[in-house]
Amino acid sequence: MIEKFKTEPFTDFTVPENKKNFEEAIQKIESSYGKEYPLYIKGKKIFVDEKINSYNPSDKDKLVGIVHKASVDEINFAVESASEAFKEWRFYPPQERAMYLLKAAQLLRKRKFEHAALQVIEVGKNWAEADADVAEAIDYLEYYGREMIRLSQEERLVSYPNEYNEYEYIPLGVIAVIPPWNFPLAIMLGMTTAAIVTGNTVVLKPASDTPVIGYKFVELMHEVGLPPGVLNFAPGSGAKIGDTLVSHHLTRMIAFTGSKEIGLRINNLAAQVFPKQIWLKRVILEMGGKDTMVIDEDCNIEDAVNATIAAAFGFQGQKCSACSRLVLVESIYNKFVEMLVAKAHTISIGPAKENHFMGPVVSGSAEKKILEYIDIGKTEGKLVVGGEKAPGNGHFIKPTIFIDVDPNARLSQEEIFGPVLSVIKAMDFNDALEIANNTEYGLTGAVYTRDRKKIMKAKKEFHCGNLYINRKCTGAMVGVHPFGGFNMSGTDSKAGGSDYLLLFTQGKAISEKLG
């Protein structure tokens, strides 16, 4: 009997001991700058000639790690190794598979600070954001472990005379897991361990911006004794090796989280049937967002301002759930903008290890893209905050707010994935909801109002996978807010929800005649 699932508490960094221990954890990570990390295939460390250099986005000259880089040959080897390992792993009892996750949760909890500190250094999260990512990762392990046990024990059939009937969820095969860099541990671990606990084997290609975080996770899973070949680690450029991984005839499913552009490419390729392939590939694609917060006149304005700042600029706006459009009803527009601008000016920005509210954006290419959108914004709206780089040797961009943006402008429609907020004026609440629904995305959304009828209307009409009332549109928690979006935000696979594991399985019905 295992304890009921409960979410992992966040660390209180105002407690001096926690602060001291976290600072030490950061120093420890810094002392391993420049270390090399191999591929991990068939339970063996593999060293190759090509490497990925992973730099600290807060301090561009600091090399966090050098990670060996898979070519097409290693991808083929990883898929074949995973396929070989599947022959045994698929028959491990569900409870046994779950134990690996529960053990990994224990170990990760012990090493929480080490893993969070690595995120501060490799991806530029502030302490609370990094801590929350690791807490979410622990939650996935605890939750999916329990979910697998539940799925294997639930009675689902009606009885029939003279027959013994069974219904079992069996695994699919080799799953290619392709995560993004922005929740570098939580999303990567969530997709990977959901695949493993359901009896599949995995080829994990981490995001090229966060390969050291990827390696540390894979190392931990091997430490808890995962059999060789069940989890294969093959970092490399998605552009160079992604097609090989997706189109391999032994790849049975692709679990992807990332941009719309890459998701659509994977969807297309996975729909093709290649020689020797004997199944239709399954894909889950969790893609981008253009998430809106709607603020009505009848709400606690101060709360709404604080929530907007947190949702738009937390982790530099680099969350798929980040608020990138703020729709204000006309009657409060000027007052709200004034308060928002004042609050945005108080945001501190600097190196992530110093724990500012905002750190750097993840890379030089992200910085370039965001600055290009800021230039577009200058032609589409009125710049009232930021709009430029912030000083420092990292990829720092000031929190940026444009007001008076047209709901159909590029700034209102395209995912920027950085600290850029567009403010849109609506005539009234009905108009605000229409604007909220006018993008091709449908991931998260939030509504601030005290009016019950308006809340009911928003619940019915605001078309997004995760809707929040009187709270910010970021911060989904495992088991509490199953997460995934509609339309071009993806296949709505609802990570951290009770339906999620089913996506990694197929149902087998067996009927035996008695007597």
Q: Distance between CA 182 and CA 382 in Å, rounded?
A: 29
For the CB of residue 489, give the shortest distance to ligand NAP in the complex, in Å: 6
Query: For residues 497 and 478, what is the distance between their CA atoms, to the nearest angstrom?
Result: 7
Shortest CB 238 distance to ligand NAP, Å: 2
Nearest alpha-carbon partner for 251 in 222, 223, 218, 273: 273
**Residue 119: CB partners within 8 Å, gap ≥ 6?**
125, 129, 130, 133, 134, 184, 185, 213
Residue 229 or 263 with smaller CB distance to ligand NAP? 263
State the nearest-atom distance from the C-beta of 28 to ligand NAP, in Å: 26
User: Which CB, 201 or 208, lies closer to ligand NAP?
Assistant: 208
The residue among 8 and 133 lying less far from ligand NAP, judged by its C-beta, is 133
At 369 the three-state DSSP class reads: helix
What is the nearest approach in angstroms of ligand NAP to the Cβ of residue 496?
10
- Give the separation between CA 197 and CA 99, rounded to whole angstroms: 9
| 426 sits in which H/E element | strand 420-426
The DSSP code sequence of 215-260 is HHHHHHHHHTTPPTTSEEE----HHHHHHHHHH-TTEEEEEEES-H
Residue 175 backbone phi and psi in degrees, to 5 = -115, 125
> Of 184 and 199, which CB lies nearer to ligand NAP in the complex structure?
184
- Residue 204 Cα distances to 176, 199, 217, 430, angstroms: 6, 15, 11, 45
Residues within the interface to ligand NAP (CB under 6 A): 178-183, 187, 205, 207-208, 237-239, 242-243, 246, 257-259, 262, 265-266, 286-289, 320, 415, 417, 443, 485, 489-490
Task: Kindly state the tokens that stand for 479.
Answer: 């088991």
Rounded to 10 deg, the angle between the 94-110 and 127-153 helix axes is 160
Segments in 154-229 forming alpha helices (H): 186-197, 211-223
CB of 57 vs ligand NAP, minimal distance in Å: 13
Contact in structure between 233 and 39 (CB atoms under 8 Å): yes
Minimum CB distance to ligand NAP, residue 135 (Å): 17
315 DSSP 8-state letter = G
Nearer to ligand NAP among residue 237 and residue 506 (C-beta):
237
Q: 466: closest CA among 292, 267, 308?
A: 292
In angstroms, rounded to a whole number, what is the distance separating the alpha carbons of residues 453 and 475? 26
- Distance between CA atoms of 148 and 141, rounded to whole angstroms? 11
CB of 181 to ligand NAP, least distance (A): 5
Of residues 181 and 396, the one with the C-beta less far from ligand NAP: 181
How far is 437 from 457, CA to CA, in rounded Å? 13
Nearer to ligand NAP by Cβ, of 98 and 366: the residue is: 366
Catalytic residues: 286
Residue 95 CB, shortest distance to ligand NAP, in Å, is 29
